A and B are shown apart, each in its own frame.
Chain A
Amino acid sequence: MTSPDIPVLQARGLIKRYGNVIALAGTDLDLMPGEILAVIGDNGAGKSSLIKALSGALVPDDGTITLDGKRVSFGSPIDARDSGIETVYQSLAVAPSLDIASNLFLGRERRRKGILGSVFRILDRDAMRQEARRQLDGLGIMTIQNPGQAVETLSGGQRQAVAVARAAAFGSRVIIMDEPTAALGVRESRAVLDLILHVRDQGLPVILISHNMPHVFEVADRIHIQRLGRRKAILDRANVSMSDAVAIMTGAMEPQDGDR
């Protein structure tokens, strides 16, 4: 279904204006199969707008998005999800007072079989809890004991794990993670980075937005540098130093031709 040379997700010439402010000035993006693509950029470079356009939370004024070579247009996050693109937002997009299983299945709950589910629309809570249990175990990092536990009783890293588990469980094409380690301590960051690698190793390409250069250089295969609403450069992690990446990002250095 995918060939190694065709991008899974591709954006061309995305434009988004808010009044006089231009958030996206015709930006491109290419996500190749099985890679972790880090998107870095200074504040106001258009990272968030780019990610929101790809995840359906924002409708660009112009430009095209293709998934597996087919043109798509997302009017809402639901459209993007239906196409197999799952996003882990920085705000995590969890309902703190609901339990882990309810959060995992939020917006796509499972109903009971037969008339109880189809007519009376009753949820299959047991099945959802078992599946939640299985997903969290599958990610193999967290010590969550009870999927019936409220999310607000979890630590930051555990909440992140719930959000990542939700994306990994339902994402079939692409997973987008927005600043997944921003609010975490060293040990929890480590666990989430392992989680990202784990997801990639299972074959799902990942777009990782992060401010944290050491984390980016630790897990990314390629680095997309966003600057002033455009893609400034794509770098191969193996061929670039952290200081050069930061220099390009801040405009202190121009990328070499091969990086454009």
Chain B
Amino acid sequence: MSTTLSTNRPSGGAPSEGDHPHRSPLTRLQHLLHAQATIGPAVVLLLAVIVFSLLSTRFLQPANISLVLQQVAVVGTIAVGQTIIILTAGIDLSCGAIMVLTSIVMAKVSAEHGLPGVLALLLGFLVGAGCGLVNGLLVTRLKLPPFIVTLGTLNVFFALNLWYSGSATIRGTDMPALLLWTGQTFTIGGTRVTYGSIGMVLLVALVAFVLKNTAWGRHIYATGDDAEAARLSGIRTNRVLLSAYGIAGVIYALSAWVLIGRIASASPQAGQLENLDSITAVVIGGTSLFGGRGAVVGSLLGALIVGVFRNGLALARVDVLWQTLAVGVLVIVAVSLDQWIRKVRP
């Protein structure tokens, strides 16, 4: 018995699970945040609301809350699609361009070609899905990194949007009422709420449920967590990725509808920063850029945090440049926190 090809490393054996008497409070916090990623952004949002309501009496007034909700509705809706992509360990820089392109398509086919509102919306959803599928095909067939794919298609879709719109804004008064419906309001407890913001909340609830309770949702997480492991487990990862980009495209088309209602027009120059703003919301919401970890509810909270910070600082008469700086700091803090949380040990 001369040779063995491996050595046995002695170890203390399996640690027992369950009770952890030796954990420090910091480690406990790390484990808590690891198990419940949305606790962080929820606490931040709550603290921000408390602080800003102390700084300005106007902050909690219904009109102001309504304003924040309206400001957040577009980016909050986009962030739902962005979350799905980021959960697969991807990223979508083209989301804003897809939104603008679909908003122009919806507006133009109805305003200039007389298509009824319902058909214009459906056509917009088809265009959104098509754009998303182009991204998905490039990612899955050509195996290009999502960052590069969507950087390219960002320019392609934006150029298509300029070409199709002739760089001209389409006025809301020329559109059917259905396209502008997302900007209509109703009143709850003295606060005027747009249907667009309600749509955003319902979309978040729906997607959160689907991600948690369907096989497709589990496969999104598994693919983002470890694509090779998912493939070996029998998940058709390319199909999962393709469907993720396609569904994100449809969600961007929904955000285009919200956008039209919000600005009561369709502008080819709108939404150019929505890609970075949506990534900001997703990251602040606790979803990991490395994929497989996070929740769509967090992204809504992230969008609200950004909205509340900008609004609250403006009410406190802080210069807009400091609002931007605050959002930047939030992103850095959120990603650092994610890195720390990911280092959790059993």
Contact = CB atoms under 8 A, between A and B. Distances in A.
A109 B217 CA distance: 11
A97 B292 contact: yes
B234 A95 contact: no
Given A95-B292, A106-B230, A150-B35, A158 B14 contact: yes
Nearest to B236: A78
A85 B215 CA distance: 22
B325 to A, nearest CB: 32
Interface string A91-128: 11111111000110011110100000000011101000
Interface string A165-190: 00000000000000000101111110
Interface string A144-161: 110001101111011000
Interface string B197-212: 0000000000000000
A217 to B, nearest CB: 10
Given A77-B234, A155-B14, A91 B228 contact: yes
Interface in B273-312: 292-293
Interface of B is mostly: loop
Contacts of A185: 8-13
A242 B3 contact: yes
B1 to A, nearest CB: 6
A253 interface: no
Given A78-B234, A98-B222, A186-B8, A241 B1 contact: yes
Given A212-B6, A241-B1, A242-B3, A121 B215 contact: yes
Contacts of B225: 95-98
B2 A106 contact: no
Contact of A111 (B215, B231, B232): B215
A175 to B, nearest CB: 14
Interface residues of B, number: 41
B216 A145 contact: no
B5 interface: yes
A154 B346 contact: yes
B35 to A, nearest CB: 7
Given A121-B214, A185-B11, A185-B12, A98 B221 contact: yes
Contacts of A96: 225-226, 292
B4 interface: yes
A243 interface: yes
Contacts of B12: 185
A122 B346 contact: no
Interface in B1-47: 1-6, 8-18, 35
Contacts of B218: 98, 102, 106, 109, 123
Contacts of A143: 14, 16-17
A206 B149 CA distance: 44
A213 B14 CA distance: 23
Interface in B223-241: 225-226, 228-236
Given A97-B293, A243-B1, A188 B215 contact: no
Contacts of B228: 91, 93
A142 B8 CA distance: 21
B213 interface: yes
A211 B5 contact: yes
Given A97-B293, A109-B218, A186 B10 contact: yes
A189 B231 CA distance: 26
B17 A149 contact: yes
A91 B215 contact: no
Given A97-B225, A107-B235, A186 B215 contact: no
A173 to B, nearest CB: 16
Given A97-B293, A98-B218, A153-B346, A77 B17 contact: no
B346 A213 contact: no
A258 B285 CA distance: 66
A107 B292 CA distance: 16
B29 to A, nearest CB: 15
B17 A93 contact: no
A72 interface: no
Contacts of A102: 218, 222
B346 A211 contact: no
Contacts of A122: 213-214
B233 to A, nearest CB: 4
Nearest to A43: B5
Given A121-B215, A123-B214, A188 B5 contact: no
A256 to B, nearest CB: 19
B233 A213 contact: no
A87 interface: yes
A4 interface: no
A19 interface: no
Nearest to B11: A185
A185 B14 CA distance: 9
A95 B222 contact: yes
Contacts of B213: 122-123, 125
Contacts of A212: 4-6, 8
Contacts of A150: 35
A213 B3 contact: yes
Given A89-B229, A187-B13, 10 more contacts: A91-B228, A95-B230, A106-B233, A107-B234, A154-B346, A155-B14, A187-B14, A212-B8, A213-B3, A246-B2
10 contacts: A93-B233, A94-B233, A95-B226, A96-B292, A145-B17, A153-B346, A157-B14, A182-B6, A185-B9, A185-B11
Q: Which 8 A-B pairs have the closest CB atoms?
A: A185-B11, A107-B234, A187-B13, A93-B232, A95-B222, A109-B215, A93-B229, A95-B225
